[in-house]
Amino acid sequence: MVIRKRPVIQILLIMVCSIGPAAALQAQDKLTLQQALHTARSNNPFLKPERLNTSLAQSDLVTAGLRPNPVLNNQTLQLMQDQYFAEGTKALHPKNRQVWWQLTKQFQLSGQRRYKMEVAQRNITLTEKNYSNAERNVLFAAGNKWLDVWYNKVNLNLVQDAKANIDSLVRTQEVRLKNQVISTTELARTQLLSEQYQLQLNNARQNYKNEIRNLQLLLGNADSVGIDVNDPVISLELVQEMDSLMHVSFNQRPDMQAARSSVEMAESNIKLQRSLSRPVPELGVVYNPQNTVRYMGFFGTIDLPLFSRNQGEIRKSKVTLQQSRETLSALQQQVQTEVQTAYGSYQLNRQTVEKYREILSKAEQVLQSVRYAYVKGGTTIIDFLDAQRTWFDTRKMYYDALYSYRKSYIELLFVTGLINQL
């Protein structure tokens, strides 16, 4: 029997192909905030139809660039009374018929085609900015939902840890009760706290499952996903001054860019509507054989702008421009308010988290000390339960503060438009 050895390169390829999917699945199971945002940008089911709006706008540009088709017109007159037929002819003889062939075409001499293309191009830009703004909203929703999953996960872990600590104490209390060191009341109070934690644990598990499903929807992922609980989230330090953040918001927020594009498109539309008020001549040639006698001529027509000069559309385009400018002005005020509010909350929540970090270790030390003292008989069950609740409440308040801090960070990214860059 001959055993063939595989080449080293082939073995390496097999190993890479085997490890690759496993690594990808592992990475998918623990998504960071940035990975979740990238996934939502690519797979969100609500963004997919929005992308097609750009293609629709580009189709309008193709339509605007088309020139009018030439028009071919035919008129045929047949002599009906035979007494007037040419001598020696019948009804269908060319001498008893007159034919009119006319070939004409409209000529847009007032820049109408150019302005149509300009308006269509402005509309493409506006559509792209609207898509970016829709993407910004989806990323904001996905970021907040990722944060909700994180909050429910750490809350679940906290309740599990608290219940594990109390369950170990319950087992110790049962032994101490057998040895007649404590009373049945002390054991019952410990068991009661364990049962309370069990109810909280059941709710925490269900809430975590619900938020995971909501995150799957925003990510466009039908498979089970998880998040990286240890992700620091805040990867972009927003230490700029308020004026700098305001400048960034005015220039990078997609809705601000869309509002400016709307003003530009309204300005272009005014020029288009004014050009449409001017007559469009239709010119061409005529070939007219009459009773076999050939005639060639020129054809031209133009409407006389005595009554209709596109007055309504011109007025409407001016009102639309005024409306777009008012919308831009209102949006600037809204952005200024949102940035100031979000930045103030972000700064306050950051300071709150720093203060809570200082007392976390103290609460942990107090719990361990009281627990040790209680087991050794140096304090009462009331002191231990109070220390346990203080530890639990302190850690929960820390997670609440950290959640608010990270939420204000995501909101600040949202109101400044920087979330699209993550």
Q: Are 413 and 252 in contact (CB under 8 A)?
A: no
Cα Rg of the chain, angstroms: 39
Q: CA-CA distance, 270 to 263, in Å (whole number)?
A: 11
In the chain, DSSP finds a helix count (H) and a strand count (E) of 9, 4
Sign of CA dihedral 341, 346, 348, 352: positive
Q: Are 214 and 227 in contact (CB under 8 A)?
A: no
- Helices 112-178 and 381-416 meet at what angle, rounded to 10? 170
Question: Alpha helix (H) ranges present in 220-310?
Answer: 242-252, 254-276
Q: How far from 4 is each of 200, 370, 382, CA to CA, in Å?
A: 61, 69, 75
Q: CA-CA distance, 403 to 213, in Å (whole number)?
A: 20
Q: Are 204 and 156 in contact (CB under 8 A)?
A: yes
Q: Are 165 and 159 in contact (CB under 8 A)?
A: no
Q: CA-CA distance, 216 to 394, in Å (whole number)?
A: 31
Indicate the DSSP class of residue 310. Answer: S
Q: CA-CA distance, 304 to 143, in Å (whole number)?
A: 61
pLDDT at 392: 87
Q: CA-CA distance, 409 to 17, in Å (whole number)?
A: 39
pLDDT at 53: 95
Q: Are 218 and 40 in contact (CB under 8 A)?
A: yes
Q: CA-CA distance, 86 to 110, in Å (whole number)?
A: 50
Domains of the chain (ranges, CATH numbers): 30-421 (1.20.1600.10)
Q: pTM of the full predicted structure?
A: 0.83
Q: Are 342 and 411 in contact (CB under 8 A)?
A: yes
Q: How far from 84 is each of 35, 87, 91, 295, 392, CA to CA, in Å?
A: 90, 9, 10, 22, 115
Residues listed for the chain: 422
Phi, psi (rounded to 5 degrees) for 238: -95, 80
Indicate the DSSP class of residue 31. Answer: B
pLDDT at 21: 34
Q: CA-CA distance, 315 to 311, in Å (whole number)?
A: 6
Please, what's the largest Cα pairwise distance for the chain? 143
Nearest to 60 by CA among 272, 258, 267: 272
Q: How far from 105 is each of 155, 299, 316, CA to CA, in Å?
A: 74, 10, 30
Chunked in runs of 10, what are the mean pLDDT values of the chain (422 residues)?
38 33 44 93 94 95 95 93 86 90 93 95 97 96 96 94 88 83 83 91 96 94 86 73 86 95 96 94 95 93 92 96 97 95 93 89 84 78 82 90 94 93 82
Q: What is the token pair recorded at 394?
A: 């302190």
297: β partners: 286
Q: CA-CA distance, 266 to 327, in Å (whole number)?
A: 12
Nearest to 386 by CA among 172, 182, 189: 189
pLDDT at 107: 93
